[in-house]
Structure 1
Amino acid sequence: MNRLSQDALGNHAPLFAKTRGDVAVSFEFFPPKTDAMAETLWRSIETLAPLKPRFVSVTYGAGGSTRERTHATVSRIVRETELTPAAHLTCVGASRDEIDEVARSYWQAGVRHIVALRGDPPEPGTPYAPHPDGYATAADLVAGLKKVADFDISVAAYPETHPEADCPDSDLENLIRKIDAGADRAITQFFFSADNFFRFRDKLAARRPDVELVPGILPVTNVATARRFAGQCGAAIPDWMDGVFEGLDELPAARQLVAATIAGELCGQLYAGGVRHFHFYTLNRAELAFAICHLLGVRG
């Protein structure tokens, strides 16, 4: 074997050759709007439940109907599964009393984990404005929830900086305020560069070394959709990703394979860097998250 072949094998050992199933996972879902969407969601939950996730989170938006759908989905998870649900709560469009009441209703329903977020404005493109009688920031929300009950609280982190932040340092300061208010862990928005995550993890560890930072993983099958999501959370889409998916519009199985390969490689790099908890943004579809968990050694 020549030197070039030896170098290739040495530098490109299989990413998952050393995974031993010592990984925890969690999954994010959104509340369904229709009966058909509900069927898809529950098929996904049934597929992923045997992997014994640490928790499954359900997203939340401004507006009464969205809150009700979130609460209904979380309540059903409590009633019909052995999973640990994590309900999202935001500051948007509600007073402190209203949010506290929602939190108390979750506690009474057996929910002990909250994902506390500031939330986005109800109208895309408009600046965020806190409710006059509400929690102004996610840090305020965390502190308020801790007064309601002893919730386990996750908050959001932005490895590539929140789009509204002045700079990376001020964004990190905002995360630290949430941690100091009582958050138990931070879950990142999705990203596609392991280097960016590791640099962010190091910066956080230098300030709060005991805080768990969980990478959020979004398996991408549609780059246009991913770009729309990315614009809302400050994530960068690599230029090469467009080329990888080019010509696959009418080939859904091929798109799935490419998506699993890209997300799997990222997870393999993160695992090699010491990450042992992965949070998957499922978009209510189980197949890609299940396949990547399988690669990581997480089996039912």
Structure 2
Amino acid sequence: MKKQRSFKEQKGTLYLVPTPIGNLEDMTFRSVKTLREVQLIASEDTRNTQKLLNHFEITVPQKSLHEHNYKERIPQLITLLKDGKNIAQVSDAGMPSISDPGHELVVACIEEDIPVVSLPGATAGLTALIASGLVPQPNYFYGFLARKKKEQIQELTELMYQSATMIFYESPYRLGATIRNMVEVFGPNRQAVICRELTKIHEEYLRGTLQELAEYLAETSVKGECCLMVEGSAESAPEEDEGTLMEQIEALLTTGIKPNDAIKEVAKKNGLKKQIVYNEFHGIH
């Protein structure tokens, strides 16, 4: 167990700073202040972040931190933090680590007892969800699905009986194919909402069944960043047939569990008295 007192430490601190997902006015006062006061900004794309820094007249230097260089970059950042430097981490848009780089640095800081402070701010998934009209809670954030159809169908099949409203991110170029795959797996009648260009001048919500959205996208191309939300399943997953009592016991025995413990577990799982399962195992009738 580890305990972090976020604002009592004297060593360097990693600040996770959300950036606007489109509208620069969504940058919080605290986020701007933090970016001005740290000694370094770790950015997913320094060129993209520089535009944000220029807008708010922030002159703090940057270092890139992305999926291609994090293994060599993280030790460098950890050294700076241990030396007392404060670092802000940002992604191109929204929250660091949410479908963006960042998680590995957070884990490294926790392992080294370096404070990690997360600032609240823009995030596309929940922002779109609360205006979607779909049930906002519980919700299940998935992010990006696999690109290849076979892998995506497999992922969607695993989500078939998810009861919470599901939140996905998707490229406008793959959106039509993804929704057709959802029709194939979830069926045509699930309610779904596409939100595109969130917080920008061309922000748009498309609401309907999966089939209606698939038909619309077959005739109309969409542009911009897209968030796709799909209502959860009203049906529960069918119970799997785990076999006879004897088969269940034998399956547990292959894991190395003792016979008496296996009997006890099978009895509990099936809502039976232990003696009944014991008799079955030993052939006592």
Compare relative contact order (CA 8 Å, sep 6+) and give the higher one, 1 or 2.
Answer: 1
Q: Return the index of the structure with the highest Cα Rg.
A: 2
Is TM (by shorter chain) over 0.5? no
Normalising by the residue count of structure 1, what TM-score does the alignment of the two structures yield? 0.27
Normalising by the residue count of structure 2, what TM-score does the alignment of the two structures yield? 0.28
Which structure is higher in helix share? 1
